[in-house]
Amino acid sequence: MPPLRWAAPAALLLLAPVVPAAAATTTVVYYKPPAAWATVNIHYAADDGAWTPVPGVAMDAACTGWRKKEVGATAGLQITFTNGAGTWDNNAGRNYRTGAGTVVVNAGVVSSVDPCTNTQPTPAPTATPTQPPQTTSGEMLGGDPRKESIYFVMTARFADGDASNNRGGSQHATSGNQANNDPMFRGDFKGLIDKLDYVKGLGFSALWITPVVLNRSDYDFHGYHGWDFHRVDTRLESPGATYQDLIDKAHAKGIKIYQDVVYNHSSRWGADGLYVPKVWGARDGQWDWLYSAKTAGKTYDPLDENSAGRPYNGDLWSTEEPAGNTCRNWGTPTGQKSPEGYPLHNCQWPSPTSGMFPASLYHQCWIGNWEGEDSRSCWLADDLADFNTENATVQQYLIDVYNRYIEMGVDGFRIDTAVHIPRVTWNRRFLPAIQQKLTQKYGAAKAGDFYVFGEVAAFVHDKWNRGSVNHSAQFFTWKERKDYSADDTQAAWEQYDYENGQGTANQPTSANAFLNGNTYHAPDRSRFSGMNIIDMRMHINFGEASNAFHNGKDSDDTVNDATYNAVYVDSHDYGPNKSSVRYDGGTDAWAENMALMWTFRGIPTLYYGSEIEFQAGKRIDCGPTCPLATTGRAYYGDHVAGSVTAGDYGVVTSAGGAVATTLAKPLVKHVQRLNQIRRAVPALQMGQYSTEGVSGTIAFKRRYTSGSTDSFVLVTVSGSATFTGIPNGTYTDAVTGDVKTVSNGTLTASVNGKGNLRAYVLGSSAPGKVGSDGPYLK
């Protein structure tokens, strides 16, 4: 099944529920001009109509420092200001777009509180600051990605550092977000930069962030509706807080950036620079509210919304059939009506089956069988236009755009919807291109530190996804084992048929995650595809930690190297057991899950807010049919408001405000110490494991050997365990500091309490007791 990302049903077109025309209201505009302006004129257009003649209309004196002008009854305005001598304040070329009533413009910020009363004006986030030019070069931090722990944030929902780039979009009111003063685009890079010490203070050394490319749809805060893949979404950036600034400032704190990327699809409006479909539209008295008046040279910018929250779309529609149109029955009535009661027309809405998209660049069908070949060659939903990834032009477009972000210095890619592209295409085209760019920039050795992990959404408890190898996560960690046709489309079919014929019993296996007894061995990664995976089997079984542990073990021999798996309990899409709500098993269960994730093989990954059980039990996503504040994608900034300084990973030296309360929560203390312990024991980061000679429900031994490093650890979670056949020597527990001397190859570790653990480390590599006792680790 596809992830939970809302897409409007095709019958709704681009249409929100009925959008009545805004009522006309007498509007008074207040403006605080630069002190040097002797004359102040307002130049405006009411309701997207005709503009006043240049240079506009003189404004009247108001209270000290302010000018005002009553412009009459209107539902909304576009405004610029001038001194009448050639100097303009036009919001950096975008004009000020406002509603009706009292409109106040001061230093680029629009608000609605009369400045000439005793009430202090409160800025509203409707103005657009000038966007600074971007630098586009940086360097990734490097180092084995297994050393990291990952904190996953939806950037637009995490922390708001700049209210001026907040945007609610066309669904702001109907979703209920407006009533909560909670625009969908609220968090931004500035907010994330401001809270890097919070992330580091929790102990995390990597940030996975949702896609940054410019999106285009009615509800696109999540980032998965990419339209211009070359550009960063303007609703995320601010002066001094561009994407490059985030990368650089995170690196300065020792935090890696893992960028979520999408190769499978674009927005329903195509991909700028590749193909943008033209739809039928008309400004005919019925559809004027939906279609922008065409303006020569004007382009899409989601920061530039009209009074209904809709950005300019004059580039997308045409009443006359455009030259080269391939959409069938252009503009003819369908006989159906929109929710508003307006007649609908053919080619009014992007669709894979209408002929609107060229077959060379986009697939032409809907997915019918999630375990069939069509899941790799058809559309997931109408908001996810499926690239023909076997086409050379599409391939080069995607390679070029993502090379840009490698050049900026990101440290890894989380690949969205990886299962919906044939493995042979990944192995032939996209994964080699990533490595080629990395090798060109960094050299072969450092290129290997770039972490690629794919989302292969197999929501089953079993080892293989309903018996289909082509749709199972571990399948994507392997190179091809035979040659196929040179044509990529034909090769995709051949690979699908061949591997299905081989079945689950004849897939390659690996011992890369497993010890030989107590001995670490050099892993054989010669058949590694270049893509690691999100551990979907552990994720789906995380209703209980013991289930996740045993199911994870069962799959590891079919993963090329499971020590590189990204492991999480829940995410922005699903909870365990494919639950539609954020994990709500309780604090003790969370503590146990974390104890397992931070000590077992794989890279622990935590979805934002889980450290305080944020929105536990709330539906993760309902699109614009309910307020974001009621979902698992709610705004988190209120919980991290205030100041915080991290002295080291998992160490907070000072905190004030709401964030101090957050940092005192029991699971926060738990994850801080888990991060400290994991960072102190290399075997917990990169070690192979074994359960041979181990009793206990969740218990295992791990070892990592490289150069002068030899780290061997015995772990048991939430219960006691006995380890037999282990090396003799002195073992020190990283949780309590307890020391045990083994002379007969046997050690018994006693643990009381769910979420507690013991980690006995052998010999001189033992760090001793790490950190201070907390609510669970003690």
Q: pLDDT digit string (tens) for 687-732?
A: 999 999 999 999 999 999 999 999 999 999 999 999 999 999 999 9
What's the pLDDT band for 537 if we cut at 50, 70, 90?
A: very high
Q: Which option is the CATH number for 682-765: 1.10.10, 2.130.10, 3.30.70, 2.60.40?
A: 2.60.40
Residue 599: alpha-carbon gap to chain centroid: 25
What's the pLDDT band for 118 if we cut at 50, 70, 90?
A: very low
Q: Where are the beta strands (DSSP E) in 410-546?
A: 412-416, 451-454, 532-533
Residue range 86-107: mean pLDDT, rounded: 79
pLDDT of residue 488: 97
CATH 2.60.40.10 segments of the chain? 25-124
Taking CA 618 as the corner, what is the angle to CA 575 and CA 188, rounded to the nearest 5 degrees? 85
Q: pLDDT digit string (tens) for 348-381?
A: 999 999 999 999 999 999 999 999 989 999 999 9
What's the pLDDT band for 94 if we cut at 50, 70, 90?
A: low
Q: What is the enclosing helix (H) or strand (E) of 594? A: helix 587-597
Instruction: Answer whether residue 306 shows pLDDT above 60.
Output: yes
pLDDT of residue 104: 87
Second-level CATH architecture of 25-124? Sandwich (2.60)
- Is residue 346 classed as helix, strand or coil in its secondary structure? coil
CATH 3.20.20.80 segments of the chain? 145-269+369-677
Q: What is the enclosing helix (H) or strand (E) of 494? A: helix 488-502
Q: pLDDT digit string (tens) for 6-25?
A: 333 333 334 333 333 334 56
Q: pLDDT digit string (tens) for 310-324?
A: 999 999 999 999 998
Q: DSSP secondary structure string, 381-428?
A: BTTBEEB-TTSHHHHHHHHHHHHHHHHHT--EEEEETGGGS-HHHIII
Instruction: Answer whether residue 125 shows pLDDT above 70.
Output: no
pLDDT of residue 48: 63
Q: DSSP secondary structure string, 695-735?
A: -SSSEEEEEEEETTEEEEEEEEESS-EEEESPPPEEEEETT
What's the pLDDT band for 328 if we cut at 50, 70, 90?
A: very high
Q: Please, which contacts does 741-747 make with residues 24 or more away whose CB atoms are closer than 8 Å?
A: 746/722, 747/714, 747/722, 747/723
pLDDT of residue 74: 80
Which residue in 283, 488, 479, 281 sits closest to 376, CA to CA?
488
* Measured distance CA(201)–CA(338) in Å, rounded: 51
- Which residues, at least 6 apart from 173, have a Cβ–Cβ distance to it below 8 Å? 179, 309
**What does the mean pLDDT of the chain come to?**
92
Residue range 540-564: mean pLDDT, rounded: 98
Q: pLDDT digit string (tens) for 143-179?
A: 999 999 999 999 999 999 999 999 999 999 999 999 9
Residues 528, 478 contacting (CB under 8 angstroms): yes
pLDDT of residue 624: 96
pTM (global) more than 0.75: yes
* Measured distance CA(285)–CA(301) in Å, rounded: 25
pLDDT of residue 106: 85
Q: Which option is the CATH number for 145-269+369-677: 3.40.50.170, 3.20.20.80, 3.40.1120.10, 3.20.10.10?
A: 3.20.20.80
| Pairing status of strand 256-262 against strand 226-232 | unpaired
Q: pLDDT digit string (tens) for 477-535?
A: 999 999 999 999 999 999 999 999 999 999 999 999 999 999 999 999 999 999 999 99
pLDDT of residue 100: 76
Report the share of the chain in percent with pLDDT over 90.
Answer: 84
